[in-house]
Amino acid sequence: MLQIYNSLTQRKEAFKPIEPGKVNIYVCGVTVYDYCHLGHARTYTAFDVIIRYLRWQGFDVTYVRNITDIDDKIIKRANEIHDDFYVIVDKFTKAMHEDFGAIGLLLPNHEPRATEFMQPMIAMIEKLIANNHAYVAENGDVYYAVRAFKNYGCLAHRDIEKLESGARVEINDVKKDPLDFVLWKLAKPDEPKWPSPWGDGRPGWHIECSAMSTSMFGDTFDIHGGGKDLIFPHHENELAQAETATGATFVNLWMHAGFLQIDKEKMSKSLGNFFTIRDLLKEHAPEVLRYFLITSHYRSPLHYSTDMIQQARNALERFYTSLRDLPDAEPIANTLFLEKFTNAMDDDFNTPVALSVLFELSHEIQRLRDKDMTAAAAHGALLKQLGGVLGILQDNPVAFFQSGTKSIDVTKIEALIAARNKARTDKNWAEADRARDELAAMSIILEDGPSGTIWKAK
Ligand code: AMP
Ligand code: ZN
């Protein structure tokens, strides 16, 4: 029975979708004003694995991941580089798709953009004003009145009085309460703007997700996700807006991914301690990054280091070594491996335990290989199938061994291998050794196997 941790109740719960067999999941997407870094990849890979697993278990999953294409950060960026707002949005949306595709993230079923949902946002704000949960401030901006919602703080598990005392009171603040947050902001000259009953302007960040998710899924849906930093204030505010606008429970299950950290700090744009996905892909095979990202449980922090990335590569090499040269076969059925893998994933998507089961399977393939190739192949097919549920191990083993070598001259490597093979045929051992040494100096190692010599990048 699948158990999932719910941030709202702070415990694992048996998963029960609203409609049996169907799952509606909304994950907050990227604000497209720069290239995505590995921290983004951490959260979206976590949800990618969750969605793959749910589908593998037979659920009909509708995955919605929005694009925040209107935001102060985008406007600031456009002003900084003197480019048009839309040019920035297009450029970084395209880059996000390329980078996410490279690390094997499934496309969401829908990718709504905030700017396409102005009407539902305006309608929700109008409802909130009518219900006395929002007001137009002196400066014309519209604010959500936090105090009018008695459950405010329920998701973040924070007491409203404590939040209040910590809130920053700004000079000339037009809010009635320091915790109130903006729903509609009037445009300053030269800012992008949309018409509304309160004047031309743009929505606040939080309202977009409440309006888009309920427009697509209805008032209540199964799962809402994002990184842990979104619990407060973004998701708390989304919940407040949606529940006071519709009167219904907004979301049944809230899921949050832990941070990718570097030197014990969250990898983030603002701290400047980030590596973009595209820069990392110049050095590492995409699958290595993906493997690294699932080595810790999705709710736990994950620590980035070059050593951890190397360990991910080594682990994948071991898996691909066990898959190499196996004949095609159907996955072995009814084995303990399958049961253990499913138990691990049913326990709140425990990928580290699931990977340890795949390791046991990989050892079993190596053990069987010498005495029963048919059984080895059937276990290999299962390893590949279960790897696919995590979005790994779908490559050709030799292609993987040679991956992550974009900066290496493959023609030169192949010429050196040919020279070495010829020298060996000629029994010119000195020349054969010289070619091997030259390859070693390029961090290329050779392996002579049953299907000939292959090279690996180290
Ligand atoms: P943003 O575009 O900054 O709103 O971030 C998009 C998503 O990436 C959010 O769900 C964030 O929580 C997530 N995210 C950003 N940085 C990290 C990080 N270092 N570790 C995990 N998730 C992150
Ligand atoms: Zn959101």
Closest CA to 41 of 284, 286, 244: 286
**Model confidence over 109-151: pLDDT tens digits?**
999 999 999 999 999 999 999 999 999 999 999 999 999 999 9
For a ligand 1 pocket test, name from 36, 40, 205 the mutation site with the most ligand atoms within 8 angstroms of its C-beta.
Answer: 40
Does any ligand 1 atom lie closer than 6 A to the CB of residue 267?
A: yes
With 70 as the cut, is the pLDDT of residue 328 above it? yes
In the chain, % of residues over pLDDT 90: 85
Write the residue with the smallest CA distance to atom 5 of ligand 1.
Answer: 30
Closest atom of ligand 1 relative to the 230 alpha carbon: 12
Structure confidence at residue 443 (pLDDT): 83
CA distance 409 to 442: 9
Q: Which residue has the higher pLDDT, 50 or 404?
A: 50
Supply the DSSP string of 134-189, one letter for each residue: EEE-TTS-EEE-GGG-TTTTTTTT--HHHHHHHSPPPTT---SSTT-EEEEEEPPT
Write the residue with the smallest CA distance to atom 9 of ligand 1.
Answer: 227
Query: What is the set of domains in the chain, with CATH numbers?
Result: 13-261 (3.40.50.620), 305-399 (1.20.120.640), 410-457 (no CATH)
Structure confidence at residue 93 (pLDDT): 98
Sign, CA torsion 110/113/117/122? positive
* Token pair of 31 as six digits: 């604000």
CA distance 211 to 204: 11
Structure confidence at residue 407 (pLDDT): 65
Which residues fall inside 5 Å of ion ligand 2, going by CB? 28, 209
Q: What is the mean pLDDT of the chain?
A: 94
Q: Quickly tell me which residue has 């619990």 as its tokens.
A: 231
Closest CA to 389 of 290, 310, 321: 290
Structure confidence at residue 168 (pLDDT): 73
Does any ligand 1 atom lie closer than 6 A to the CB of residue 27?
A: no
For a ligand 1 pocket test, name from 31, 43, 223, 280 the mutation site with the most ligand atoms within 8 angstroms of its C-beta.
Answer: 43
State the helix-helix crossing angle for 236-246 and 205-217, rounded to 10 degrees.
Answer: 50
Write the residue with the smallest CA distance to atom 11 of ligand 1.
Answer: 227
Interior/surface letters 286-315, b for 16+ CB within 10 angstroms, e for the rest: bbbbbbbbbbbbbbeebebeeeebeebbeb
Write the residue with the smallest CA distance to atom 16 of ligand 1.
Answer: 39
Mean pLDDT within 406-424? 85
Q: Residue 173: which pLDDT band, with cuts at 50, 70 and 90?
A: confident
Give the ligand at the shortest distance from the Cα of 96.
1
How does DSSP classify residue 46?
A: H
With 90 as the cut, is the pLDDT of residue 316 above it? yes
Cα(39) to ligand 1 centroid in Å equals 6
Structure confidence at residue 356 (pLDDT): 98
With 70 as the cut, is the pLDDT of residue 347 above it? yes
SS3 state at 196: coil
With 80 as the cut, is the pLDDT of residue 195 above it? yes
**Model confidence over 282-307: pLDDT tens digits?**
999 999 999 999 999 999 999 999 99
Q: What kind and span of H or E run contains 18?
A: none
Write the residue with the smallest CA distance to atom 18 of ligand 1.
Answer: 39
Mean pLDDT within 175-189? 94
Q: Is the pTM of this model over 0.95?
A: no
Mean pLDDT within 253-279? 95
3-state SS string over 90-133? Answer: HHHHHHHHHHHHHCCCCCCCECCEHHHHHHHHHHHHHHHHHCCC
Structure confidence at residue 65 (pLDDT): 98
